[in-house]
Amino acid sequence: MTLQQLRYVVEIEKTGSITKSAANLFMSQPNLSSSLKELETEIGITVFNRTAKGVEVTEDGLEFLSYAKSIISQIDRLEFIFKDQKRKTATLNVACTRSSYVVRILCDYYNQLPADLSVNLKLSELTSLKAMEAVADGQADLGRISFDEINYKSYERFARKNRLIMELLWKVDTYVLMSSNHPLAKHSMITMEMLNQYTRVVYSDLEIDIIPIEENHRRIAVSDRGTMMDVLSSCQDSYLWTISTHPHILKAHDLVAIPCEGAPAILEAVVYSKNRAITKEMQWFLEKLRSTQYDEYFRIQESFRPDTVL
């Protein structure tokens, strides 16, 4: 088995076609088919079933590909870090649900790095499932996710199937984020019913909605956090459900976060792969995630107890 063969099978999975993969890899289709057959013979499993429409990954193939992607990711990382021995580089790739707190942690990490150190940091704001997929595929080192208790088992099954460690961090109350000029902004506590006449801001890629669809279907869908902040500030009868907005962000955009009676609690977790070593950058970030305390002005945070959802 060679690294090149691992890259071949990952490409075939991506395209779903040996012919397309051969073209992308600048090699002949017979040579790619032969290499795949040699690999399958060596490891003793069938990675792909051949069909009239192309190829389909087998159950054994799914497990094999998860390892292959992890190996390729780590090799690529090694090549990047050590191809120039004279240069030291701080590298970290984090995938997370949209969170001003995670952005703050990444900035804190950057600010404590030496000025002469090469830096390669990346933060991708994704849905929880997409963040977990990024870690499973080796596209991210760490993932920070959030979900409600009802869907805990679904995320736990995904983590187990993809050899991810899902470390539960906190159980956090959800709050309502709105402009300080919103008609409800002066209330110390609001109810679900009070929100019915107002416009809810949601992310357009929302996988699972923690709040049942309201009778009043007034919605504005956005795709990124910057746009969301602008909408909340400019559309002063709009609101958004939130779990973690940093106080500096609240002040910068003239927003408030108000508790809502009966609002659901959300679980937060960090995920990382069982198939790779923890780097010093990952360890630093993990410790910061574990120790983060949300501002009590707008957030009640509890230490997570697994027995609450297991």
Class of domain 3-79: mainly alpha
The residue with tokens 């071949």 is: 8
Domain 88-171+266-308: assigned CATH number = 3.40.190.10
Q: Look at the domain 175-263 and name its fold.
A: D-Maltodextrin-Binding Protein; domain 2 (3.40.190)
Longest dimension (CA), the chain: 70
Phi, psi of 101 (to 5 degrees): -70, -40
Render pLDDT for 121-151 as a digit per residue (tens, 0 to 9): 999 988 899 999 999 988 899 999 988 888 8
Q: So where are the chain's domains? A: 3-79, 88-171+266-308, 175-263
310 residues of the chain, pLDDT tens digit each: 888 888 888 888 888 888 888 888 888 888 888 888 898 899 898 988 888 888 889 888 888 888 888 888 777 767 666 654 455 788 899 999 888 788 888 988 999 888 888 888 999 988 899 999 999 988 899 999 988 888 888 899 999 888 899 998 888 778 899 999 999 999 999 998 898 889 999 887 776 666 655 555 788 988 888 898 899 999 989 999 887 677 778 888 899 989 888 888 888 899 999 878 788 899 989 888 887 765 443 344 443 333 333 3
| Domain pair 88-171+266-308 / 175-263, same fold | yes
pTM of the predicted protein model: 0.62
